Amino acid sequence: MVKIAPSTDPAKNFDDLLSYINEIRFAAHFLHVDVMNSNFVQKTNFDENFVAKINANTAMMLDVHLMVNEPDVLKYIEAGANIVTVHYEAFENKNKLKNALKLIREHKALAGLSIKPNTSVEEITSFLDYVDLVLVMSVVPGSSGQKFMEETYNKVSLLKDYIGKRPIQIEVDGGIVPEIAKNLKKCGADILVSGSYVYSSKDRVLAIKELMQN
């Protein structure tokens, strides 16, 4: 059974987000916290202070996705992140990327590495020994509600082969609905991020179960 991580991105404000969290907290496995500050993607939403505020108001595990150039990962760990995912493309110097991943693990959080749709799996194979999770973006990062890119299936299957017996989870984010969830599970995905599908559903708990059970 795949794990489901609803995203904070569609929430209108903090009160709306808290209401959303209370509704889904026993059905979902993680809360996927999208962080954007306009230097990696165009959108700006919030920073480590907002993560800390979320952490103070929920016992859910926080899966923090940093769409930020060369982020200070320690700030997010201190704010309560359980998983800290950085983007491969956000580090021009790949030694800095490797150091960031090591630092996340040293501070007892899970280290995640994300790739945009136009980044090949082959580009990140040398980093697999430093990560606990790879997040494959199935839409262009930066906004909720985009259509799932079909080429993601092949990327997930290929990534599964490269991972082999390593204890690395594959997460997919963007445009996921039940039929796509079913296909991604067959390809080897372990965690599915849902923004619009769960948030816009009349019965959000049922929507999570539909994604999980396919």
**Catalytic center residues:** 34, 173
Max Cα-Cα span within the chain? 46
What does the CA dihedral 11, 14, 19, 20 come to, rounded to 10 degrees? 30
How far apart are the C-alpha atoms of 199 and 160, rounded to whole Å?
29
How far apart are the C-alpha atoms of 50 and 53, rounded to whole Å?
5
How far apart are the C-alpha atoms of 205 and 23, rounded to whole Å?
7
Quote the distance between the C-alpha of residue 152 and its chain's center: 15
How many CB atoms are located within 10 Å of the residue 1 CB?
Answer: 9
